Structure 1
Amino acid sequence: MKRLSRLDDSPFARLWWSIDRPSLAILSLIIVIGFVVLMAAGPSAAARISGVGEFHFPVRQLIFLAPTLFLIMALSFLTPLQARRLGVIVFFGALFGMLLVLLFSGEVNGAKRWLYLGGFSLQPSEFAKPGFVIAAAWMLAEGARDPKFPGGAVAIGLYGLFAMLLLLQPDFGQWALVTAVWAVMFFVAGWSWLWIAALGVTSMGALAAGYVFSDHVAARVDGFLKPGATETYQVDRAVETIANGGLIGRGDAASMKGALPDAHADFIFAVAGEEFGFMLAVFIILLFAIFTGRVMAVAAGLKSVFAQCAVTGLAALIGFQAIINIGVSLRALPAKGMTLPFISYGGSSLLATGLTVGLIFALTRTHQGVFRRKDIMP
């Protein structure tokens, strides 16, 4: 195989030398580990469903993994200006999809979150998250560039619209994730701590209202505070499954993952802990921490306020989602159905995370041979 040279002027060679390769290496390792863990979790999950094969979930994950990898590569070729345009289009398209979900989709476990297209289901809110980060970062950057432009007010309005649609589904977990990311972007954009504190107080008020007016949210919070309740069955099984793995894992010997609902999706971290032990569980946590930290460090060196805000927000999106998923599995957070990026089974989540990472690479790679400044620093 011919080695890539810096003298090679092919598109792939230019991409290789301009992309942040440490981030790419960490991401590749997460994807490989995710598929290995899903191979272990898939058969027990498939056994609960009649008429499907033992490797139903790993095979379907591969079907979505191929376009996800293509999406990451294709988006990496974009200039920051093109990435910004795409992100805004995706955001408003996903908001329209969320509206369609509220109007026409049926309820699943008391929530409306999915659009059903033939044999596939799509969760528009997953794609709205990276789109929101891009759109909000653009407005915050425009406000910083021109104090007369109400960029901050527009960005707050976009957040309010997105948050309202999430709460109407209702999806308090995704709302909390978006709110945390929004607070990080506020900080990077240089807004005062007073605004961040106001956002925190408003969020606590919304959570309190959710506890009072939503039986589902109240049950999750009460179950977190009182382990052993009926509502915490999945979380209790997840903790037991992780503990059963010990230091180096048990494999299929005395496995408890068969009793764990959603072992292939929301609680796949528990399967990783049981099958491969405490060592792999810690390694997965470190990989997400290093990936998020690396991307944020690269963002800090960017000259564009838009790129700084957007890349930091996109990295926080992946990092916070991993924290929430792992925290629920360890009973450190109230139960919330949220996937572990690139590891949990799920087509919408996989494609949306691929969109997130592709936008990160597009905004962080070095751009040589581009002579129009606006293409590099919108």
Structure 2
Amino acid sequence: MAGYSRTDDSPFGRWWRNVDRTTLICTFILIGFGYILMLAASPAVAVRIGASRNMFIFKQVMFLSVAGLIVTGVSMLSRRAVLRLSLIGGVLMLGATMLTLVHGIEIKGARRWIALPLMSLQPSEFLKPCFAVVTGWLLTERRTSRYFPGMLIAFGLYGLILLLLKSQPDIGMLTVITAVFLVQLFVDGLNLIFVGFGFGCMVAAGIAAFFIFPHVRSRVERFMHPNVGDHYQIDTALRAFGNGGLMGRGPGEGRVKDLLPDAHADFVFAVAGEEYGLVVCMLIICIFAAIVVRTLLRLIREDDPFVVIATSGLLTGFGLQAFVNMASTLHLIPTKGMTLPFISYGGSSAMSVALAIGMVLALTRQQPGGLRPGTSFITTLRQWRSA
């Protein structure tokens, strides 16, 4: 934007000069793909359930518009404001997650959602970015405040979230948050032996989940044994990729996608494969990779440990969610009900991912007055009161 020169001292001008414009542009490209693929995927699903043909389209337009505003608005915040937002949001979402166990909507045996007038809210989606930022601060703070038990509080917070997600149950979200926490501990300097022990515990927990939760056992058995159980969705998704080939059938020309029950949500990547082909699917993968790699390269030059640890957790959650969705659609891993960021249908998903990317842009933005190394817990509280 040529109109914002280095001499422009307005808030927007300063933001535009310092924000990671590459990541910002990639984010809005993904939002654009979300609009396009919702037009292709959702009408048949809406008709199948007896709703208006354009119901999902109108809702997703609203969700993605709000997501774009969240990305832009949050990216303008200071690092201190991002931490404050995460603390307040984390407390509210923890309470809402507890509420789902009592008054939540039960879908396919899980209580993860709270009914709202225009949408169903999944509070655990918002816990993910808030947890990453708060944990990053706790792990950093324990090094600067002698009597502050940051590590202990971080483990206690993780344990509480573990109990809540296990009770819903939401094993996929729990796995992502566990991976976020382990990556942050590794970046913080945890010995590789303990990191390996943590991943070993994850594997053991996965084996235990196989025997404890019937839906986990069913998905793993269907993945390992093609002749066991219902493979309709994954078989149809693979047919859609095969029907699309290299260049795709063209916009609106897909036919296999109309047979996919979750074409607008968990299997939207198959819709991209049928209508736009391998080339566009690779482009989508490259955009996700560009966001992750670009931000990691910026972290190499970052000297604030809070920013490095918090952003690493945010990127882990974002990248892992995208990988799980695309890999399960291609039948590379067992199927998991996890959305493709900014592209799959869903209000909670779109807005929570927008919150995470907005936080990434805010934390990696060059700005004065952030949480610098050596900022103690008491000093931080005083800064908040004076802000």
TM bucket, shorter chain: over 0.9
Please name the residue that 2:184 is paired with: 185
Q: How does 1:308-347 map to 2 (within 5 A)?
A: 308-347=308-347
Q: How does 1:265-344 map to 2 (within 5 A)?
A: 265-344=265-344
**2:152 counterpart of 1:153:** yes
Q: 1:371 to 1:308 in 2, by over 3 A?
A: closer
Q: 1:95 to 1:231 in 2, by over 3 A?
A: farther
**2:206 counterpart of 1:207:** yes
Q: CA deviation at 1:186?
A: 1.3
Please name the residue that 1:175 is paired with: 174
The superposition leaves residues 324-351 of structure 1 with CA deviations (integer Å, 9 ceiling, x where unpaired) of 0001000011111000000111001011
Alpha-carbon contact 1:232-1:335 (below 8 Å) kept: no
Larger deviation, residues 128-137 vs 140-149: 140-149
Q: CA deviation at 1:118?
A: 2.5
Alpha-carbon contact 1:38-1:58 (below 8 Å) kept: yes
Q: Distance in 1 between matches of 2:48 and 2:122?
A: 23
Q: Distance in 2 between matches of 1:144 and 1:105?
A: 39
Q: 1:97 to 1:231 in 2, by over 3 A?
A: farther
Please name the residue that 1:234 is paired with: 233
Alpha-carbon contact 1:34-1:343 (below 8 Å) kept: yes
**2:100 counterpart of 1:101:** yes
Q: Distance in 2 between matches of 1:115 and 1:304?
A: 37
The superposition leaves residues 129-182 of structure 1 with CA deviations (integer Å, 9 ceiling, x where unpaired) of 001101111111112334653322221111111122111111111111111122
Task: Please state whether the residue corresponding to 2:115 is helix, strand or coil.
Answer: strand
Q: Distance in 2 between matches of 1:80 and 1:327?
A: 34
Q: Distance in 1 between matches of 2:371 and 2:181?
A: 30
Q: Which runs of 5+ in 2 are unaligned?
A: 381-387
Q: Distance in 2 between matches of 1:99 and 1:169?
A: 9
Q: CA deviation at 1:300?
A: 2.5
Q: Distance in 1 between matches of 2:182 and 2:216?
A: 23
Q: CA deviation at 1:286?
A: 1.1
Q: Distance in 1 between matches of 2:372 and 2:204?
A: 44
Matched letter for residue 64 of structure 1: F
Alpha-carbon contact 2:46-2:56 (below 8 Å) kept: yes
Please name the residue that 1:27 is paired with: 27
Q: Distance in 1 between matches of 2:254 and 2:344?
A: 23
Matched letter for residue 130 of structure 2: G
Please name the residue that 2:243 is paired with: 244
Q: CA deviation at 1:253?
A: 4.0
Matched letter for residue 200 of structure 2: V
Q: CA deviation at 1:60?
A: 0.9
Please name the residue that 1:70 is paired with: 69
Alpha-carbon contact 1:81-1:376 (below 8 Å) kept: no
Q: 1:120 to 1:34 in 2, by over 3 A?
A: closer
Please name the residue that 2:194 is paired with: 195
Please name the residue that 1:12 is paired with: 12
Alpha-carbon contact 2:304-2:372 (below 8 Å) kept: no
Alpha-carbon contact 1:81-1:374 (below 8 Å) kept: no
Q: Distance in 1 between matches of 2:331 and 2:282?
A: 16
Q: Distance in 2 between matches of 1:172 and 1:118?
A: 27
Q: CA deviation at 1:372?
A: 9.0
Q: Distance in 1 between matches of 2:317 and 2:3?
A: 35
Q: 1:42 to 1:106 in 2, by over 3 A?
A: closer
Matched letter for residue 276 of structure 2: F
Q: How does 1:52-71 map to 2 (within 5 A)?
A: 52-53=52-53, 55-71=54-70
Q: 1:372 to 1:244 in 2, by over 3 A?
A: closer
Q: Distance in 1 between matches of 2:35 and 2:295?
A: 23
Q: CA deviation at 1:232?
A: 2.9
Q: Distance in 1 between matches of 2:253 and 2:37?
A: 16
Q: CA deviation at 1:228?
A: 4.5
TM-score between the two structures when normalised by the length of structure 2: 0.92
Q: CA deviation at 1:362?
A: 1.1
Q: 1:250 to 1:157 in 2, by over 3 A?
A: same
Alpha-carbon contact 2:112-2:122 (below 8 Å) kept: yes
TM-score between the two structures when normalised by the length of structure 1: 0.94
Task: Please state whether the residue corresponding to 2:221 is helix, strand or coil.
Answer: helix
Q: Distance in 2 between matches of 1:118 and 1:11?
A: 35
Matched letter for residue 93 of structure 1: L
Q: Distance in 1 between matches of 2:50 and 2:190?
A: 54
Q: CA deviation at 1:36?
A: 1.1
Alpha-carbon contact 2:28-2:68 (below 8 Å) kept: no
CA RMSD of aligned residues (A): 2.0
Q: 1:118 to 1:266 in 2, by over 3 A?
A: same
Alpha-carbon contact 2:31-2:64 (below 8 Å) kept: no
Q: CA deviation at 1:374?
A: 8.5
Q: Distance in 2 between matches of 1:307 and 1:277?
A: 38
Matched letter for residue 187 of structure 2: V
Q: Distance in 2 between matches of 1:13 and 1:173?
A: 40
Please name the residue that 1:364 is paired with: 364
Task: Please state whether the residue corresponding to 1:112 is helix, strand or coil.
Answer: strand
Q: Distance in 1 between matches of 2:332 and 2:370?
A: 50
Give the number of equivalent residue pairs. 376
**2:353 counterpart of 1:353:** yes
